[in-house]
Amino acid sequence: MGFPKQRLRRLRQNENIRRLVRETHLTVDDLIMPLFVRPGKGIKQPIPSMPGNYQMSVDKLVEEVKILEGLGIPGIILFGIPDKKDEMGSDAYSDEGIIQQAIIAIKKTAKNILVITDVCMCEYTDHGHCGFVRRDERSGHFDVDNDMTLELLVKEAVSHAKAGADIIAPSDMMDGRVAAIRDGLDENSFEQIPIMAYSAKYASGFYGPFREAAESTPGFGDRTSYQMDPHNATEALREVSLDIDEGADIVMVKPALAYLDIIRIIKDNFDYPVAAYNVSGEFSVVKAAAEKGWIDEKRVALEILTGIKRAGADMILTYWAKDAAQWLKK
């Protein structure tokens, strides 16, 4: 049976009918807000390339987290900018590190929001790479030493857990890091803490504004020797499969918007909790166009977030989380 008896527009004629047949529902429950914390007091420093986002001292961060908690946002993910950087990224795993201080402060005042911590070395090393760098004797090039880096990541993850982190999220893309972190957490009696693995993290051009926000631009070269090639999809399935086998509780695709197909194939192949990171470049291009009056930011942002959800994401890390939580209430 076709037209004229079938008229699909019948179910589009008003908002209440559209609501009844809507297939994908974006809610505040889907949102995780990334936040940037730095040393000091009374600091709320705007990030020029990411309007509406800030580097905050711990006291200002706590104020922001309480607002997010009040909006019903279930979780935040923390990124730290240390006072000093060194070759080994020692602030990342110091009990007095900036992230550790932030976790402790948040847990005292905002008890109903999940604190997720990014586990990586790039914000803490003086060279800006995601681990311990050594010179390859065969090529003469400098590169991240995978296995040495695993030791540092375990120390960082355990220190975050000791401070009170609810979920550990390794983003470094070292081989074997999920198993190493899972073992490290379990050996320190943190068996209950889940791992949200950045499983399919691509070497993307969409990270530019984040690198300003986190002050983590590589001092030399790039990250293509450890982050994934944007041309590959099957490789993402292999990465996710390995992370699940190693003990990941949630797997992530990053970026989201240019990798909706990856989100879908991972969800279809594994039926596992999938996070998607709507990254800084995806956010900032919309902000820039909206500031010029070319697009309606609210409409486009919610369309993007809905598209990520429709692709199969169970949760979305997005710089629009605070705004979206308020938009979705209206």
Annotated binding residue 120:
yes
Annotated binding residue 223:
yes
Q: Is residue 12 part of a domain?
A: no
Annotated binding residue 211:
yes
Three-state SS at 38:
coil
Number of structural domains found in the chain: 1
- Residue identified by tokens 């983003």 is 171
Q: Is residue 3 part of a domain?
A: no
Q: Is residue 87 part of a domain?
A: yes
Annotated binding residue 239:
yes
Q: Is residue 16 part of a domain?
A: no
Q: Which residues have C-beta within 8 Å of that of residue 221, sequence separation ≥ 6? A: 129, 141, 142
Q: Which amino acid is at 244?
A: I
Q: Of 41, 107, 111, 254, which residue is the catalytic one?
A: 254
Q: Of 201, 267, 287, 322, which residue is the catalytic one?
A: 201
pLDDT at 219: 66
Task: Take residue 216 and report the two structure tokens written for it.
Answer: 């983590």
pLDDT at 88: 84
Q: What is the pLDDT of residues 251-310, one digit of tens each?
A: 999 999 999 999 999 999 999 999 999 999 999 999 999 999 999 999 999 999 999 999
pLDDT at 251: 98
Q: What is the pLDDT of residues 234-248, one digit of tens each?
A: 999 999 999 999 999
In sequence order, the β-bridge partners of residue 79 are 36
8 Å CB contact between 253 and 268? no
pLDDT at 140: 63
Q: Is the pLDDT score of 123 beyond 90?
A: no
Q: Is residue 13 part of a domain?
A: no
Containing domain of residue 134, as a range?
23-328
Q: Is residue 9 part of a domain?
A: no
> Catalytic site residue 254?
yes
Residue that wins the pLDDT comparison between 217 and 178 = 178
Q: Which residues have C-beta within 8 Å of that of residue 93, sequence separation ≥ 6? A: 152, 155, 156, 158, 159
CATH classification at residue 259: 3.20.20.70
Q: Is residue 194 part of a domain?
A: yes
Q: Is residue 48 part of a domain?
A: yes
Mean pLDDT of the chain: 93
Q: What is the mean pLDDT of residues 67-86?
A: 95
In sequence order, the β-bridge partners of residue 75 are 32, 114
Q: What is the pLDDT of residues 94-112, one digit of tens each?
A: 999 999 999 999 999 998 9
Q: What is the pLDDT of residues 202-231, one digit of tens each?
A: 999 999 888 787 677 776 667 778 899 999
